[in-house]
Structure 1
Amino acid sequence: MRLRLPEERPTEPPTGYKIAHPVLSQDGARAAFTGVSLGGALPYGVVADAACAYGLRHRPPHRRCDCGFHCVHERTAAEALLCTAEHRAAVLLQVTVLGAYIRFERGFRYARQRVRTATVGACACGRPAAALADSGWGLPGWRALRPSCAGCVRARPSVSPTAFARLAGDGLRVVALAGASDGPGASGATGAGGAGEALGVPELVAEAALLQARLDWFQTRLARLGEPGPGGPARG
């Protein structure tokens, strides 16, 4: 006797939450995400189809496999994962579950998804993030990014939340959490429009802070080049 899972036919696609690492292509022309566990070696775009991480030819999500995208039902459950040391640099994603899915007690395993919103946390120093900067690791052809404030970016490869949303495309919305001084729950949202399109004060402030931080870093480097060495004239 073959057991069949109960079928659901929702009027609207379910919504779920997950965490992921934002990544930037080597040439800086594409933005995507990569998972934090199974399938973490396979970057995916805003709209993506799942593939079996074990290389098997069945369609995800297969009942006898762990393949497919994964998400949880509750936002708070996904946010709790960001407390672990290895996931501090990840971002929170709100996704729409598309295609076939298997419902579990805490979430879904499913075939296709659309990332609606990416919420970026604070920099490791505790200040609000003004950019997504090179985190020091990556995958072949992809640099992993992490939230970074204007002062910590320095000369690392980075993109603003606005630029990341634009490069990812497909209507992705990026939300950068504001600092504690801005009040609880404050945030700045950026869309996927072109440069200078539909930018509000929070986005423009973040862009200006990022540019100023880079300018300060280059000025410091230039000043050091002009300092006289031990027992020698100044270097021009």
Structure 2
Amino acid sequence: MRLRLPEERPTEPPTGYKIAHPVLSQDGTRAGFTGVSLGGALPYGVLADASCVYGLRHQAPHRRCDCGFHCVHDRTTAEALLCTAEHRTAVLLEVLVLGRYIRFERGFRYARQRVRTATVGPCACGTVTAALADAGWGRPGWHALAPSCAGCLRGRTSVSLAGFARLAGDRLRVVAGDGLRVAGDELLPAAGPGAPGGLGVPELVAEAALLQARLDWFQSQLARLGERGPGGAPQG
């Protein structure tokens, strides 16, 4: 006799939590995420469909395979994964579980997802994150990004939190370490006081700090070039 799993027909999509690394396309026009374990070589967007990472032709998730997106029920369980050394620069995602899914004791394995919120931790120096910067590794065609404050950018390829949300699209919300939320260039209700229809004061301060850090870096480079003289030889 063939055993069948009990069917669920929820009135609303279940919510789950997972961690992932933010990524930026090589040409800087797209943003997304890549997983930390199975399927980590395949970056995905805010709204994405799963496929079998082993190349099998069945639909994900298959009962006799471990393919499909994975998430846990409890936010605290997902946050605990960020304590490990290899996951310190990952972000916490809140996702909607869409399509077919298999429920387990601690989470779901499912066919489709929508990333609703990405929570970005602090910079490695402990300062509140102002941008996502090149982490020094990536996937073919994609730069992996890590949280960075304005002072630690040092000329690396980077994108502001608002810029990442805008490139990712689908009204992704990005939550900085201090609880600020931005989506594209729109102010979300919980982001605090600000001008209607635009970015609030905290977001503008973060953007200004990012621009100032880049300006300081460019000025330092120009100063070094000036010391070497027009022909490239040191002056003096």
TM-score, structure 1 length as denominator? 0.91
CA distance in 1 between counterparts of 2:36 and 2:235 reads 52
RMSD: 1.8
Cα shift readout 1:171-213 (whole Å, capped 9, x = no counterpart):
10001112xxxxxxxx111013479953111211111000001
Partner residue, 1:102? 102
Q: Indicate whether 1:39 and 2:39 are aligned.
A: yes
Structure 2 unmatched runs, 5+:
188-194
CA distance in 1 between counterparts of 2:113 and 2:226 reads 54
**Structure 1 residue 221, shift from structure 2 partner:** 2.0
CA distance in 2 between counterparts of 1:232 and 1:113 reads 57
**Which residue identity does 2:220 align to in structure 1?**
T
> Aligned match of 2:181 in 173, 181, 189?
189
CA distance in 1 between counterparts of 2:201 and 2:6 reads 49
CA distance in 2 between counterparts of 1:112 and 1:40 reads 16
Partner residue, 2:115? 115
Partner residue, 2:156? 156
On the 8 A contact 1:166/1:194 being kept in 2, the answer is no
Partner residue, 2:141? 141
CA distance in 2 between counterparts of 1:158 and 1:52 reads 32
CA distance in 2 between counterparts of 1:147 and 1:89 reads 6
CA distance in 2 between counterparts of 1:122 and 1:2 reads 50
Structure 1 range deviating more: 217-226 or 73-82: 217-226
On the 8 A contact 1:134/1:158 being kept in 2, the answer is yes
Partner residue, 1:125? 125
Partner residue, 1:221? 221
On the 8 A contact 1:60/1:68 being kept in 2, the answer is yes
TM-score, structure 2 length as denominator? 0.91
Change (3 A) 1:156 1:114: same
Aligned length: 225
Change (3 A) 1:155 1:7: same
**Which residue identity does 1:75 align to in structure 2?**
R
Structure 1 unmatched runs, 5+:
179-186
On the 8 A contact 2:186/2:199 being kept in 1, the answer is no
CA distance in 1 between counterparts of 2:185 and 2:148 reads 22
Structure 2 counterpart SS, 1:76: helix
Partner residue, 1:76? 76
**Which residue identity does 1:105 align to in structure 2?**
E
Identity of aligned residues (%): 78
CA distance in 1 between counterparts of 2:37 and 2:46 reads 18
Structure 2 counterpart SS, 1:215: helix
Partner residue, 1:183? none
